[in-house]
């Protein structure tokens, strides 16, 4: 078992073995939870929880069906327009 010390500023250094085992790099944000056993540190999830309806995009689309070729052409046109806009 590794030990660490609380600094006068309330900082704790996690032992290298722990950081390596979790693949935590400098800047890793952690959620701090107080539990009956002590304090639990968990990595902060990079994205907020979402609902399927929020991320599926055009599932509710009711217009005419598009072929793969038409979708590819639409994407190519959008990329080209964005490229021109950035110049």
Q: What is the tens place of the pLDDT at every residue in 7-60?
A: 999 999 999 999 999 999 999 999 999 999 999 999 998 887 888 877 777 677
**Higher-pLDDT residue of 58, 74:** 74
Would you state the pLDDT for residue 63? 84
Tally of domains in the chain: 1
39 located within any domain: no
58 located within any domain: yes
Give the residue numbers spanning the domain of 69.
Answer: 52-86
10 located within any domain: no
Locate tokens 């046109």: which residue?
A: 77
Q: What is the pTM of this model?
A: 0.50
Would you state the pLDDT for residue 36? 97
Residue 59 CA to residue 15 CA, distance in Å, equals: 47
35 located within any domain: no
Q: Which residues pair with 39 in a beta bridge?
A: 34
Would you state the pLDDT for residue 58? 66
């Amino acid at each position: 078992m590794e030990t660490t010390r609380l600094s006068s500023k309330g900082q704790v250094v996690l032992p290298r073995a722990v950081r390596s085992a979790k693949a935590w790099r400098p800047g890793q944000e952690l959620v701090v939870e107080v539990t009956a056993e002590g304090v639990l540190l968990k990595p902060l999830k990079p994205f907020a929880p979402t609902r399927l309806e929020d991320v599926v995009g055009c599932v509710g689309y009711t217009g005419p069906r598009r072929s793969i070729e038409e979708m590819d052409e639409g994407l190519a046109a959008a990329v080209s327009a964005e490229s021109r806009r950035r110049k």
